Structure formats: C-alpha cells, structure tokens
Amino acid sequence: MPDNIDKYVPEFDEDEQRERLSEFGREDLIGMLLRAYKEKRMLAKMCDDLASKLSRIEAIAQEPSSLLGLPDIPDAEDLRRMNE
C-alpha cells in the first residue's frame, strides 16, 4: 500500500490519536486492532460484492434490447434524430 495515505484523510490528527490511545492498556489496544481489522475485511467484502453487482449491471446494459425487434419502438438513432 502506498505510504501517502495521509492525503486521503487530512483531517486525521495523528498526535491527538496517539495521546488518546496511550491511555489504553495492551488488551484494549489488541481488541481495537482486531475490531479495525474485521471492519476493514467487512468493507473489502462489501466493495467486492458491489463491484460484482456493477459488473453484472454493465453486462446486462451491453446486451441488445429485446424491444428493438418490436414495431414502433424507437432505437437510439431514432431518438437522436427526434432530439435534433
């Protein structure tokens, strides 16, 4: 992962967070780390699911419409001419 992560979260104050985290014990920090890891994995899975759905939608959008064979249904070229 690139080390320029700070440009994506400029509002993050690292010093403030370090001070806040210094108040926690080892077990608390480990628990927080594990929870953050689980959240990251969950978000990654959600992104993968959404990318898969988007991919299916794109594939469907590329298929020719079954309406094109019906009479009186304008195609894309007809619509362009109507809007000129």
Walk along the chain (84 residues) in steps of 10 and give the mean pLDDT of each run.
73 90 96 97 97 93 75 78 83
H/E run at residue 64? none
Alpha-carbon Rg for the chain in angstroms: 25
Q: Which residues contact 82 (CB under 8 A, 6 or more apart)?
A: 74
Per-residue pLDDT, 5: 80
Do 33 and 25 touch, CB atoms closer than 8 A? no
